Amino acid sequence: MRQASSEGKDSLPILMYHNIARAPRNLPVYRSLYVSPQAFTRQMWLLHRLGYTGLSMSAAMPYLRGERRGRVVVITLDDGYADNLEAALPTLSRFGFSATVYVVSGSIGRHNTWDEERLGIRKRLMTAEELRAWHSGGMEIGSHTQTHPRLTQCDDRQLRHEIHGSKTDLEDRLGVAVTQFCYPYGDMDDRVADLAREAGYAAATTTRRGRAVPGTDLWRLPRVQVARHHFLPQFAMRALTGYEDRRA
């Protein structure tokens, strides 16, 4: 595993998580979106043991721009589920890591309205108070639009609301700077990426497979999905070797 971790030393894995919780037994689809708290802790322990530092998107920007080099892994969590605060924050704090949670600004304190019907389950999202606790714990808040739509299907007016409006909503409501963006479903094109840049985001992440390298378009950053069925050796292979790069 140590040998694998040295491969592609300039590559920056941006890990993509959703729920840090045990998958409900009655969930028929998308169980892969869950990573148990125990598995998450083992993954963070391994990164720490191998000499990696887990960083939020903003903390990783000097590495993504090629201004700094080091053994770093970027940690992102999509949607803003309450279990991120309950289960992920203590582990991240334990290892001195930071992470970015991408929040759907129109659903703060509510639930996953965008896929509740398809999943057949409601998943609680962090309240404004809980998001402030996340930020106070040394973590970052990024934007995941206002309503979690497929952005390429939005007209220009709606697209501006989703991208610009979510940034304003979060900054006004939470009192923190929001400089990072994530495309829901990874759905984006040139029009969407251009507006994310125009809105003042420093970077934006996709669901495209692979690890980022200095010089990668900062508004089209690939990520490494971490899923429920990835055991520790699989996690290490996907995050720390060229495995995902070859499948990009």
What's the pLDDT score for residue 247?
A: 87
User: Mean pLDDT over residues 4-18, rounded?
Assistant: 77
Q: Evaluate if residue 7 carries a pLDDT over 80.
A: no
Residue 109's closest CA among 139, 92, 132, 87?
Answer: 132
The string of DSSP codes covering 122-191 is --BBPPHHHHHHHHHTT-EEEE--SS---GGGS-HHHHHIIIIIHHHHHHHHH-S---EEE-GGG---HH
The confidence score (pLDDT) of residue 1 equals: 37
**DSSP per residue, 76-132:** EEEE-BHHIIIIIHHHHHHTT---EEEE-GGGTTSB-TTTHHHHT---BBPPHHHHH
Whether the CB-CB separation of 146 and 140 falls below 8 Å is answered with no
Residue 248: pLDDT band with limits 50, 70, 90: confident
**What CA–CA distance (Å, rounded) separates 107 from 104?**
6
Q: What pLDDT does residue 195 have?
A: 98
pLDDT higher than threshold 90 for residue 4: no
pLDDT 10s digits, 139-197:
999 999 999 999 999 999 999 999 999 999 999 999 999 999 999 999 999 999 999 99
87 close to 21: Cβ distance less than 8 angstroms = yes
pLDDT at 29 exceeding the cut of 80: no
> What pLDDT was estimated at residue 123?
96
- Strand pairing report for 14-17 and 221-225: parallel
What letters, b where the CB count within 10 A reaches 16 and e where it falls short, cover 61-85? bebbeeeeeeebbbbbbbbbbbbbb
pLDDT at residue 53, as a whole number? 98
Give the pLDDT of residue 8: 57
Please tell me which residue, 28 or 231, carries the higher pLDDT value. Answer: 231
Contact yes or no for 244/221 (Cβ under 8 A) = no
Instruction: Give the per-residue pLDDT at 6.
Output: 39
Provide the 8-state DSSP code for 24: P
Select from 10, 99, 100, 17 the least CA-distant residue to 63. Answer: 10
pLDDT above 80: residue 2: no
**Which structural domains are found in the chain, ordered by start?**
2-243 (3.20.20.370)
Question: Which residues share a beta bridge with 73?
Answer: 54
Q: How far apart are CA 163 and CA 44, in angstroms?
A: 31
- Residue 26 has a pLDDT of 79
Over the chain, what is the mean pLDDT? 94
Q: What band does 109 get if pLDDT is binned at 50, 70 and 90?
A: very high
Both tokens of residue 1? Answer: 């595993």
pLDDT, average across residues 213-230: 95
Rg of the chain over all Cα atoms, to the nearest angstrom? 17
Judged against a pLDDT cut of 80, whether residue 58 lies above it is answered with yes
Distance between CA atoms of 179 and 85, rounded to whole angstroms? Answer: 20
pLDDT attached to residue 3: 36
Q: What is the pLDDT averaged over residues 217-239?
A: 95
CA angle 22, 226, 149 (to 5 degrees): 90
Sign of CA dihedral 191, 194, 200, 206: positive
Share of the chain above pLDDT 70, in %: 96
- DSSP code of 10? T
